[in-house]
Amino acid sequence: MPKPRHALTLRARSARIIARVVTGGALDPALDEDRARHGRHGLVEELAIGTIRYAPRLLARTAPLLRHPFRKADQDLQALILMGLYQAFFMGTPEPVAVSEAVAAADALAKPWGKGALNAVLRAALAAEAVAPYTGYNHPDWFVDRLKAAWPETWRAVLAANDERAPLTLRVDTRRIARGDYLEQLAQAGIAARAHPVADTAVVLAQGALVPGLPGFREGLVSVQDAAAQLAAPLLAPAPREAVLDACAAPGGKTGHLAQSAPEARVTAVDSDPARMARFAETLTRLGCVARVRTLTHDLAEYPLEDRFARILLDAPCSATGVIRRHPDIKLHRRVSDLPPLRAIQARLLDRLWHNLAPGGTMVYATCSVLPEENEDQVTDFLARTPDAREDAFHFPVGQARRAGWQFLPGEAGMDGFYYARLARRA
């Protein structure tokens, strides 16, 4: 029976998203653009996100079978091949159905001339998998090598966690509602959830959900934020009326948490990206704390020296290798050559913002990376060259203490990969 036109159109939408990402675009903006044009659809997003999650494996399987690579204008056809394999390998779709659906979707892309190549490559790839199953790691080789060197005992677990779907985790504004009371609201709405064992503001949903429809979301009672990210505000622990700087603050989740946890603190949020800052006011307005936060779009490397803060949160630009399960396009786009310039930016921001930290003040340095050169090595080097800096150590029941700071690896207590170091400036 021919596939309904509607279903073919959905697959064409997914193929366009995949093609945009494979050719260098970011996944989240591609999804946002598709939603804005067509509305949200579960099948479109399942096929697009799932295919990108396993793109290294799928590309490795298909590349030897293509006599000539697809032109950039026809990457949507290659996306149909990848999507068909994703359905067959990971969605339980019978192989003949996965092949026929991918081939038929070429009509919805107005490229019926590509059907023969789609059919031939898909069948050859499925046959090759049956004879010699894929044995790679579904990650770029450079990352696997770095991970083995940094985490010889747990690197396989990290790779496995990166291929999983991340849970939907919420941060509860516990000044307005107790976490237990919010869990009761979820239960009454028929939503299964549990309290997170490490972050005392975190609630983990058993399944995904449409966030705007969650109890209390529109009223600002909850925000979407991974449990590891929720530890930044309590680590910084601003006191009433203290001046706090949230550096690299967009899109505003940690800023909102800081403002909620210390409502009398004077919070300044700075980010250099105007597009990301454009969403900032919307987030803070929903949380009810827009009046308590000063927002600035500014290059932090040139932030005024005369501004002094008792607390600074530096959520530094990084490789984002700890959040691959949430942003699987990182597997395709991150290069080992990105690391030296990122490390240089981190060091420059640490040195520059240290001048804005008042004597006796506290800085929390954070990344969503699992690579030591961005984390413990970076902080150790900073401490060695900064005479008035010392580490203020802390402990969590999961993760591990490093030479400096604390590292969470992806999947530990269901959290993303995150690194924190707390630094005190001697009075």
Active site members: 368
Q: How many helices (H) and strands (E) does the chain have?
A: 17, 13
CA distance 11 to 192: 31
CA terminus-to-terminus distance, the chain: 77
Q: Are 193 and 168 in contact (CB under 8 A)?
A: no
CA distance 354 to 362: 10
CA distance 313 to 343: 17
Residues 6+ away with beta carbon under 8 Å from 178: none
Structure tokens at 49: 């996100």
Residues 6+ away with beta carbon under 8 Å from 46: 91
H or E element: which one contains 295? strand 293-297
Q: Are 261 and 246 in contact (CB under 8 A)?
A: no
**8-state DSSP, 252:** -
